[in-house]
Amino acid sequence: MAARVIDGNAIAGRVREELAARVRRLRERSGVVPGLAVLLAGDDPASHVYVRNKQRACAQVGIASFRYDLPATVTTAELVDTIHALNGRDDVHGVLVQLPLPPQVGMRQVLESIEVAKDVDGFHLYNVGGLVVGEPVFPPCTPYGVLELLAHEGIGIAGRNVVVVGASNIVGKPLGLMMMHGDATVSICHAKTRDLAQFTRLAEILVVAAGVPGLVTAEMVQTGAVVIDVGINRVPGSSRVVGDVDFDGVRQKASYITPVPGGVGPMTVTMLLKNTVTSAERSCLRSGALKVPRWA
């Protein structure tokens, strides 16, 4: 039987409606509008598309977005100065630096200059450390989106064999930690893994985030597995994107599968919105602009 296709656009839409309601409530009770600052350095075409999508998504739920376009020649100091100014602004609750940065920029120095309470991407080392002990200030958006998709489909992770293909700092490693905190048994595979299929076949939940089109084929997947494809690969000479999973083959064997596009992608942006709204709510609670009701 063919797998159920998880509709990331529909789930993202439902979460965004809930977020729009939280934004309205916050505005009514405190007068505060959540704000996200997005810094984009250089002219990587894909990054421009991602940033435009993030700004559109902000507008959809009522978050104010502030965009800073910096030249490809920007220095680390210039970026850090811009971030310090944003850290001090009351109308900015999230600061996001679009990656990758130009090669002359010290990425770690830039990310560490973001105020932890505004680190809605979850890339600051304090946040990364929080993730290790299960107490992130903000969970990183793509892994958070994967967990939200599973939760919406009613797929539990406790005690399940989870295999993550890809050990990046943005997806594979944080997702492995978050799955562990959900009591899954986790294996993380990467480019040096020998005989990838021996691991992927063990997976009850298989998450593929390798950036290799068509890497996972039907014979690498156990019957009834849940397959989540995080890959976004542009097809050369076309505007089409494909994932890391051979969708048509694997869907004949899996129980659930995410498509590309329309699976994990819309959830990543949605979780960024969620972190930004949460940040604004926390800021209002700290400042006293929002009172915790006595019955809460």
CB atoms near residue 110 (< 10 Å): 23
The amino acid occupying position 277 is V
Three-state secondary-structure class, residue 112: helix
Give yes or no for residue 113 binding ligand GUN (CB under 6 A): no
Smallest gap from Cβ 99 to ligand GUN, in A, equals 4
Residue 103's alpha-carbon distances to 174, 217, 240, in angstroms, are: 24, 35, 28
The 3-state secondary structure of 229-260 reads: ECCCEECCCCCCEECCECHHHHCCCCCEECCC
Three-state secondary-structure class, residue 220: helix
User: Is residue 69 among the annotated active site residues?
Assistant: no
In the shown chain, the binding pattern of residues 134 to 153 toward ligand GUN, with x for contact by CB under 6 A and - for none, equals -------xx-----------
| Number of residues near ligand GUN (by CB under 6 A) | 8
Among 30, 92, 102, 121, binds ligand GUN (CB under 6 A): 121
- Nearest C-alpha neighbor of 97 from the set 36, 40, 44, 35: 40
User: 145, 268 in Cβ contact below 8 A?
Assistant: yes
User: Is residue 121 among the annotated active site residues?
Assistant: yes
Active-site annotation holder among 54, 118, 253, 274: 54
Q: What is the Cα–Cα distance from 261 to 158, expressed in whole angstroms?
A: 28
Nearer CB in complex with ligand GUN: 44/78? 44
Smallest gap from Cβ 152 to ligand GUN, in A, equals 20
Q: What is the Cα–Cα distance from 284 to 278, expressed in whole angstroms?
A: 10
Residue in the shown chain whose Cβ atom is closest to ligand GUN? 99
User: Is residue 109 among the annotated active site residues?
Assistant: no
Residue 229's alpha-carbon distances to 48, 171, 260, in angstroms, are: 23, 12, 7
Smallest gap from Cβ 254 to ligand GUN, in A, equals 25
Nearer CB in complex with ligand GUN: 225/273? 273
Give yes or no for residue 170 binding ligand GUN (CB under 6 A): yes
Active-site annotation holder among 119, 121, 229, 246: 121
Nearer CB in complex with ligand GUN: 47/185? 47
Q: What is the Cα–Cα distance from 234 to 261, expressed in whole angstroms?
A: 11
In the shown chain, the binding pattern of residues 73 to 112 toward ligand GUN, with x for contact by CB under 6 A and - for none, equals -----------------------xxxx-------------
Smallest gap from Cβ 142 to ligand GUN, in A, equals 6
Nearer CB in complex with ligand GUN: 99/241? 99
Q: What is the Cα–Cα distance from 255 to 221, expressed in whole angstroms?
A: 11
Smallest gap from Cβ 203 to ligand GUN, in A, equals 24
List interacting residues with ligand GUN (CB under 6 A): 96-99, 121, 141-142, 170
Indicate which residues carry an active-site annotation. Answer: 54, 98, 121
